[in-house]
Amino acid sequence: MAGMQGTVATYDAATRSGVLLLDDGTELAFPARAFDASGLRLLRLGQRVRVDTDAAGEVVRVTLPTMA
């Protein structure tokens, strides 16, 4: 599922994983593989991101809202 957006609540550069706060207030953890799939080099706390999930609701990619 694409099109969800949220804000970076936590990000650990050592593990490349963290937690997003979605616009509806839901916390959603993302694994290193979702960050790696983005092509980004880092994330900042409070940064807006777009979230892509699979059919099971697992985060598969975290990108900037302006990236396709």
pTM: 0.87
- 4-63 CATH pick, 3.30.43, 2.60.120, 2.40.50, 1.20.120: 2.40.50
Least confident residue range of 27-31, 47-51, 62-66? 62-66
Beta-carbon neighbour count of residue 40 at 10 Å?
Answer: 16
> pLDDT at residue 1 above 60?
no
First to last CA, the chain: 14
Amino acid at the residue 9: A
Q: Are 52 and 61 in contact (CB under 8 A)?
A: yes
Please, are residues 7 and 46 in contact by the beta-carbon 8 Å criterion?
yes
pLDDT tens digits for range 2-42 = 578 999 999 999 999 999 999 899 999 999 999 999 989 99
What tokens appear for 48 in the block?
A: 């807006």
pLDDT value for 29: 95
Tell me what pLDDT residue 57 has.
87
